[in-house]
Amino acid sequence: MVAERRHYPNEFALVMNQIDIERTALRSRMLGGIRSDDEGAELELAGWVHRRRDLGGLIFLDLRDRSGLVQVSLGPDWTEPASLDLAHQLGAEDVVAVVGSVVVRSPENRNTEIPTGDIELRATVLRRLNRADTPAIPVYRSPEDALPSEELRLKHRVLDLRRSELQENLQLRHRLVLACRNYLDKLGFIEIETPILTKPTPEGARDFLVPSRLHHGEFYALPQSPQIYKQLCMAAGFDRYFQIARCFRDEDLRADRQPEFTQIDVEASFVEPDDILGWMEGLMVALAAEAPRIQAEVPFIRLTHAEALERFGTDKPDLRFGVEIQDWTHALARLDAPVFSAAVGEGGRLRGLLLEGGAKLSRRQIEAVEGSAKVAGAPGLLWAKCSDEGGSGSLARFMDEDAYRELGTKTGDLVLVAAGTDRMTSPALSAARLAAIEALEIPEDREHAWLWVVDFPIFEEGADGALTANHHPFVMPHPEDEDRLEAEPLSVRGLAYDLVYNGVELGSGSIRNHDPKLQRRILRLLGLDDAEIDLKFGFLLNALASGAPPHGGVAFGVDRLVALFVGADSLREVIAFPKTTTARALFEGAPTPLDEEGLAELGLSLSRAEDQAAPARTGEGDGEQVAHASGAET
């Protein structure tokens, strides 16, 4: 008896395959794996009542756990009377345990829809372990039922999470994270935890702030990423670091953005980009092995940032499709089209897409493609359908035979042209490319398009004309470009790279700046004076000056990666307890107002008097509240 209760996976038992890891005190095994091989086995099973079919004399229960469903049959000939009575009273989601034997069903009674459909458990005893209220949203769903509204699914998240879809998503998420840890461990990376209470950063996204009780008027920030800490780890000699790291950004949300999210964060010393890219390609292969719908073949394609923009108009091109942007400035500038001469006069170009067979699109469809280019910032596109009698469309009247020949069109093709600066035409043509591919139902060249985009510029021009960091301010400038930093900063490439899968950015990284003098030059270019630099980044510069090795790394968005790997449209499908688009947690009801006493302890007061007595109700929060630090120096 004692030996039977030792079901923990001690090493010997695991190696010898002698224990059943599914066994617990209350059940002999889980449900999903029971098969006709188990005929005659006496089992104690436990789970939730998924569905009950009460025929009066006979009762069938579909019992559910995370591994699957098993039908339990109860009847007067084999079930004890008290258990039979109880079975009549069971409701959906009650938690029960049954004792019985595995019976192979007669051929006409088999259920081919479920893996355990060849057997059932003929129950002698049924016990209710816990009652369940009638579910507010159904866990069971018949084939044609729609999902409950997202709001109710989030409010009753525990019930929603019981559905097999979410169970499977989170189980795959676990396997991906585990595969990641195993892979990086084998490469000698060690996982190091970094602080959640950190120092506010002036760069990038807004920080979530945490008031300090011990230091009124002072605040911690939650990390936007462990970026600086992992560089400190390199300076500290840890050489190869990783972390499955929670990150926080207080910005508006999207289907693919949550205020808190998880990154696979990696950093290594004495590396160049090829080291990181090679390791990470191997990581993607290891992860793809866990996900049936994803494949990864190495090495991945590489494009420079400049080339990606030239050929696809975006820094995250979807390379499943071959359509590319063409530069037709030479062929078309001579045409008598005012838009063209104006664009070229301003230093712009005439670029476009040649869509084979595109003339079959209706005018309305083409205008829809043009519409997506307009949303992306273009005033419009010129287009021409190519036919035997010449062409039609807004571009056709400017075209002549030579122009068509130079573009290389054939009958039945469609030509789209955008005129203007690259800054405007690239996003427009990128959007038009994807819209046209969809409208024309162009088949994929490949199903899995993995791509590294490399050599990102380190700066971009902000709305006010000031320089901002394209990525973050710690990217090592490309050695060939370093001497142009002050003179032509926008032309300086960085040793930075993004991983793109089917047009979705999965992660990005760079070789970091390990030279404190060079780092200071870059921070100055971003508009910080030396005093600010010392105040905000002094600890990093000091660490670099203490003998930091050359280092670099990368970070991947786990939520986005899992969503892609399970084919989910929204990150909420791969996060157990996600926030709404207004960053509320509907299940537990966060955030929540703080009473006077709580505020006082933190040295805070609210700026709007009418809000101070705000009721602490979830979901019905009234108006924004702005916290002030009574002792803040700024």
Site for RNA in 106-125 (CB under 7 A): 108-111, 113, 117, 120, 122
Judged by CB under 7 A, the residue of 21, 622, 628, 630 near RNA is 622
- Check residue 77 for interaction with RNA (CB under 7 A): yes
User: Toward RNA, which CB reaches closer, 69 or 291?
Assistant: 69
With b for 16 or more beta-carbon neighbours within 10 A and e for fewer, the 605-618 pattern comes to ebeeeeeeebeeee
Instruction: Give the phi and the psi of residue 99 in degrees, each rounded to 5.
Output: -115, 135
Closest CA to 522 of 590, 462, 472, 583: 472
Does 95 help bind RNA (rule: CB under 7 A)?
no
Stretch touching RNA by CB under 7 A, among 174-182, 330-338, 532-540, 616-624: 616-624
- CA dihedral 468→470→473→479, nearest 10 degrees, is -120
Does 413 sit near RNA (CB under 7 A)?
A: no
Stretch near RNA under the rule CB under 7 A, chosen from 146-154, 273-281, 318-326, 532-540: 146-154
Considering only 17, 18, 134, 362, the residue that binds RNA (CB under 7 A) is 134
- Report, in Å, the least distance between residue 357 CB and RNA: 29
Strand partners, 461: 467
Least distance CB 226 / RNA (angstroms)? 13
Does residue number 74 form part of the binding site for RNA (CB under 7 A)?
no
Give whichever of 144 and 274 is closer to RNA, judged by the CB atom: 144
Of these, 75, 115, 412, 589, which contacts RNA (CB under 7 A)? 75
Give the residue among 571, 597, 556, 606 at the shortest CA–CA distance from 154.
571
Which listed residue (46, 48, 71, 541) binds RNA by CB under 7 A?
71
Cα distances from 486 to residues 348, 374, 428, 481, in angstroms, run 25, 35, 31, 10
Selected binder of RNA within 317, 477, 557, 603 (CB under 7 A): 557
The correct pick among 572, 575, 587, 602 for binding RNA (CB under 7 A) is: 572
Q: Does 584 bind RNA (CB under 7 A)?
A: yes
Which residue from 586, 602, 606, 614 is in contact with RNA, where contact means CB under 7 A? 586
Instruction: Count CB atoms within 10 A of the CB of residue 529.
Output: 10
Q: Euclidean distance between the first and final Cα of the chain, in Å?
A: 69
Cβ proximity to RNA, 74 vs 359, nearer residue? 74
Which one of 29, 44, 63, 73 is in contact with RNA (CB under 7 A)?
Answer: 73
- Strands, E, within 485-545: which ranges? 496-501, 504-511
Judged by CB under 7 A, the stretch of 172-180, 253-261, 330-338, 487-495 that binds RNA is: 253-261
Query: What mask, x for binding RNA by CB under 7 A, covers residues 204 to 233?
Result: xxx-----------------x---------
Six-digit token pair at 515?
Answer: 């030279």
From candidates 20, 39, 85, 251, binder to RNA by CB under 7 A: 251
Indicate whether 144 belongs to the interface with RNA (CB under 7 A).
Answer: yes
Which of 44, 207, 265, 498 is in the footprint of RNA by CB under 7 A?
A: 498
Q: Tell me, by CB under 7 A, how many residues bind RNA.
A: 76
Is residue 254 a contact residue for RNA (CB under 7 A)? yes
Instruction: Report the nearest approach of RNA to the CB of residue 149 (Å).
Output: 3
The minimum distance between CB 115 and RNA, in angstroms, equals 12
Closest-CA residue to 415 (of 427, 403, 431, 428):
403
Of residues 38 through 57, those in contact with RNA by CB under 7 A are 51, 53-57
Q: Does 130 bind RNA (CB under 7 A)?
A: no
Kindly compute the dihedral angle of the four CA atoms of residues 461, 463, 467, 471, in this order, to the nearest 10 degrees.
-70
Alpha carbon distance 584, 592 (integer Å): 9
Q: How far, in Å, CA of 300 to CA of 309, rounded?
A: 18
Q: Cβ closer to RNA: 133 or 402?
A: 133
Using the rule CB under 7 A, which residue among 62, 160, 207, 281 binds RNA? 62
Check residue 512 for interaction with RNA (CB under 7 A).
no
Distance from CA of residue 378 to its chain's centroid? Answer: 29
Alpha helices per DSSP H over 54-163:
81-89, 150-155, 157-161
Per-residue contact string for residues 291-320; x = within reach of RNA by CB under 7 A: ------------------------x-----
Around Cβ 346, how many Cβ atoms within 10 Å?
10
Residue type, 191: E
Q: Are 217 and 633 in contact (CB under 8 A)?
A: yes
Q: What is the DSSP letter of 80?
A: -
Q: Report the C-alpha gap between 50 and 66 in whole angstroms.
A: 12
Q: Is the separation of the CB atoms in 210 and 220 below 8 Å?
A: yes
- At position 122, the amino acid (one-letter code) is R
Contacts of residue 443, Cβ cutoff 8 Å, sequence gap at least 6 = none
